[in-house]
């Protein structure tokens, strides 16, 4: 599927394909590497190059990505004294080994831009700023070590760290999110560009949760705002193409379908109007690229919730304007260069030569709409056509492992299963006429039975900010 997917991205106006590197796929056992088939990273990068595009290689090696174990191979878990993503010698040893392996592989095929290849950026670590404070001094020193280690690999292209405001020079700190034009504080050094590593085109879905639908208009608005307000020079869509997390590859809570609302959906099919609307935006940006790169940026107010961002070339006289309406409810008419312009609610009009509107983020071509139509093309009559994974639920009489406390999941399952089943019995005080069982858990779901009769279930809905607590109570 790679050639077709990359071709659709190119047709949609993209210049760069960004990819993670999945450590647990490429090094399933220490020192044993797999770059065959769909793990053939070199072939993937060369396909990008063959279609005339650039690449951003996010090595990590921690990638998150709503991927099992964040991309770490499980065998790391059992090394004595290891502490992940910290100034910890065992972890740093294996992290450096894998990072070096990937860089050497790319160098040997001349794939870095410094060698004439397509890779223009590489990333070390991933959103570490979210957890750095938890490691205190060892978090700070780990960031410095990771940056130094990466730079010393001498790729000849810049390294980035996303969501890392303390990224040491020359590492470039980048933004992730949906509104980086509003939320990004900018590069932490004047000699670094403004880069947006992840512009979330929707959001991953969790079991029990509803799909997050982000409109094409909203994505386009924030892309244009990032360029206009932050001098943005690189914006990556996360995801531009989603996919399917088959088997046990998805992280906890995350559904098999991943970013199905992307411009290229879960199956790699074009999703309109997102794909087409963003294609028009990309074309407009390329019409203005020389002035955006060489012009001097100024901004001024056009009204209470309206603003103009203007790029003006001093030598050639080129001019590009972004007329911005932050009001999400009303059309507004503004005066710019002695001309009236009507701005749609929450929109940005892009003016080539500061005169002609060549794109408006809120104006979607009515012909750019499609819908997914499902029809049966093949009927599976044999059970052999399907593979089913079943986890054996133990009976209390047959359990070989007993504990008076909760067990650490990974130490117990050794990554052979995503599930750690607890089974217990209790006998209540017969003098209590209304006994209550109260369950506090960080688990996903609880099912309660009384004397083999189903009583109640509770679903622990995923939230990154709130503790997962649900109660199951009943009267006897």
For strand 16-20 and strand 54-60, is the pairing parallel, antiparallel, or unpaired?
parallel
pTM of the model: 0.89
Rounded to an integer, what distance in angstroms lies between the CA atom of residue 238 and that of residue 197?
8
What is the tens place of the pLDDT at every residue in 429-442? 667 777 676 766 65
* Residue 422 pLDDT > 80: no
Domain count, the chain: 2
- Least confident residue range of 82-96, 204-218, 262-276, 406-420: 406-420
Is the same domain home to 132 and 245? yes
pLDDT of residue 383: 63
3-state class of 350 per DSSP? strand
Q: Say which residues have a Cβ less than 8 Å from residue 338's Cβ, sequence separation at least 6.
A: none
pLDDT of residue 403: 86
127 catalytic residue (yes or no):
yes
Answer yes or no: is 346 within a domain: no
Q: Mean pLDDT across the stretch 236-240?
A: 98
pLDDT(22) > 70: yes
Q: Given pLDDT bands bounded at 50, 70 and 90, which one contains residue 228?
A: very high
Query: Is the pLDDT at 466 greater than 60, yes or no?
Result: no
One domain for residues 204 and 59:
yes
- Amino acid 429: pLDDT: 65
Are 369 and 273 contacting, i.e. CB atoms less than 8 angstroms apart? yes
Q: Return d(Cα 149, Cα 172) in angstroms, integer.
A: 15
Q: How confident is the model at residue 472 (pLDDT cuts 50, 70, 90)?
A: very low
Per the domain annotation, does 64 fall within a domain?
yes
Band of residue 35 on the pLDDT scale cut at 50, 70, 90? very high
Picking from 234, 262, 290, the residue at the C-terminal end of a domain is 290
Return the pLDDT at 473. Answer: 41
Predicted confidence band of residue 378 (pLDDT cuts 50, 70, 90): confident
Q: Which of 54, 72, 52, 53 is nearest to 62 (CA)?
A: 72
Residue 315 placed within a domain: no
Q: Mark 248-261 as b/e (b = at least 16 C-beta within 10 Å).
A: ebbbebbbebbbbb
Averaged pLDDT, 453-457: 85
State how far the Cα of 16 lies from the Cα of 48, in Å rounded to an integer: 8
Q: Are the C-beta atoms of 159 and 168 separated by less than 8 Å?
A: no
Mean pLDDT along residues 47-72: 97
The confidence score (pLDDT) of residue 463 equals 42
Q: Within a domain: residue 374?
A: no
- Tell me the pLDDT tens digit for each residue of 100-155: 999 999 999 999 999 999 999 999 999 999 999 999 999 999 999 999 999 999 99
The last residue of one of the domains, among 290, 310, 344, is 290
**What is the end-to-end Cα distance of the chain in Å, rounded?**
57
SS3 209: coil
Q: Give the distance, in angstroms, between the CA of residue 369 and the centroid of all CA atoms in the same chain.
A: 25
φ, ψ for residue 412 (rounded to 5)?
-85, -45
Q: What's the pLDDT band for 305 if we cut at 50, 70, 90?
A: very high
Query: What does the pLDDT read at residue 270?
Result: 96
Residue ranges making up the domain that contains 285: 2-290
Domain assignment present for residue 326? The answer is no
pLDDT at 470: 35
Please say which residue of 265, 290, 315 terminates a domain.
290
Cα–Cα dist 333/168, whole Å: 45
At 476, the pLDDT band (50, 70, 90 cuts) reads: very low
Across the chain, mean pLDDT equals: 91
Confidence bin at 460 (pLDDT 50/70/90):
low
Flag whether 335 is in a domain: no
Q: Using the predicted structure, report yes or no on whether residue 235 has a pLDDT greater than 60.
A: yes
Residues 40 and 177 in one domain: yes
Mean pLDDT, residues 386-412: 80
Report the helix count and the strand count for the chain, using DSSP H and E: 10, 18
DSSP string, 316-348: S--EEEEEEE--SS--EEEEETTEEEEE-TTEE
When pLDDT is cut at 50, 70 and 90, the band that residue 462 belongs to is very low
Single out the catalytic residue among 198, 266, 280, 307. 198
In a domain, 333, yes or no: no
Supply the pLDDT for residue 210.
84
Residues 276 and 407 in one domain: no
**334-377: pLDDT as tens digits:** 999 999 999 999 999 999 999 999 999 999 987 778 888 888 88
Inform me whether the pLDDT recorded for 297 exceeds 90: yes
Do 269 and 395 sit in the same domain of this protein? no
Residue 395 has pLDDT above 60, yes or no: yes
Residue 172 lies in a domain: yes
**Beta pairing, strands 339-343 & 332-336:** antiparallel
Residue 252 maps to which CATH number? Answer: 3.20.20.80
């Amino acid at each position: 599927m790679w050639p077709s997917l990359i071709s659709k991205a190119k047709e949609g106006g993209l210049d760069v394909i960004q990819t993670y590197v999945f450590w647990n796929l490429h090094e399933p056992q220490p020192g044993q590497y797999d770059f065959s088939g769909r793990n053939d990273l070199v072939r993937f990068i060369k396909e990008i190059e063959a279609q005339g595009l650039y690449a951003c290689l996010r090595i990590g090696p921690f990638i998150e990505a709503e991927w099992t174990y964040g991309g770490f191979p499980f065998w790391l878990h059992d090394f004595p004294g290891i502490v992940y993503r910290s100034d910890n010698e065992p972890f740093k040893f294996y992290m450096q080994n894998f990072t070096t392996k990937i860089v050497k592989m790319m160098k040997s095929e001349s794939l870095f831009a410094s060698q004439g290849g397509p890779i223009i950026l590489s990333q070390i670590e991933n959103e570490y700023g979210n957890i750095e404070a938890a490691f205190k001094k060892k978090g700070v020193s780990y960031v410095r070590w990771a940056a130094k280690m990466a730079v010393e690999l001498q790729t000849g292209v810049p390294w980035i760290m996303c969501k890392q405001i303390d990224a040491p020079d020359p590492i470039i700190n980048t933004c992730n999110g949906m509104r980086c034009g509003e939320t990004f504080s900018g590069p932490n050094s004047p000699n670094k560009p403004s880069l947006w590593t992840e512009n979330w085109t929707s959001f991953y879905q969790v079991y029990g949760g509803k799909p997050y639908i982000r409109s094409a208009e909203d994505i386009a608005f924030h892309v244009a705002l990032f360029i206009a307000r932050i001098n943005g020079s690189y914006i990556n869509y996360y995801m531009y193409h989603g996919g399917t997390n088959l088997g046990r590859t998805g992280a906890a809570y995350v559904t098999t379908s991943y970013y199905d609302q992307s411009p290229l959906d879960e199956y790699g099919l074009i999703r309109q109007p997102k794909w087409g609307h963003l294609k028009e935006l990309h074309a407009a940006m390329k019409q203005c690229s020389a002035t955006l790169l060489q012009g001097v940026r100024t901004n001024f107010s056009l009204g209470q919730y309206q603003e103009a961002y203007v790029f003006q070339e001093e030598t050639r006289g080129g001019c590009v304007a972004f007329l911005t309406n932050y009001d999400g409810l009303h059309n507004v008419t503004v005066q710019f260069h002695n001309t009236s312009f009507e701005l749609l609610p929450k929109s940005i009009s892009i003016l080539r030569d500061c005169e002609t509107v060549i794109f408006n983020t809120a104006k979607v071509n009515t012909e750019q709409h499609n819908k997914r139509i499902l029809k049966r093309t093949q009927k599976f009559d044999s059970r052999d056509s399907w593979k089913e994974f079943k986890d054996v639920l133990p009976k209390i009489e047959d359990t070989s492992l007993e504990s008076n406390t909760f067990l650490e999941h990974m130490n117990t399952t050794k990554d052979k299963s995503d599930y750690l089943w607890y089974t217990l019995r209790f006998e209540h005080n017969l003098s209590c006429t209304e006994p209550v069982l109260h369950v506090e858990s960080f688990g996903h779901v609880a099912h309660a039975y009384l004397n083999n009769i189903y009583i109640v279930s509770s679903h622990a809905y995923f939230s990154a900010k709130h503790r997962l607590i649900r109660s199951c109570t009943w009267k006897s």
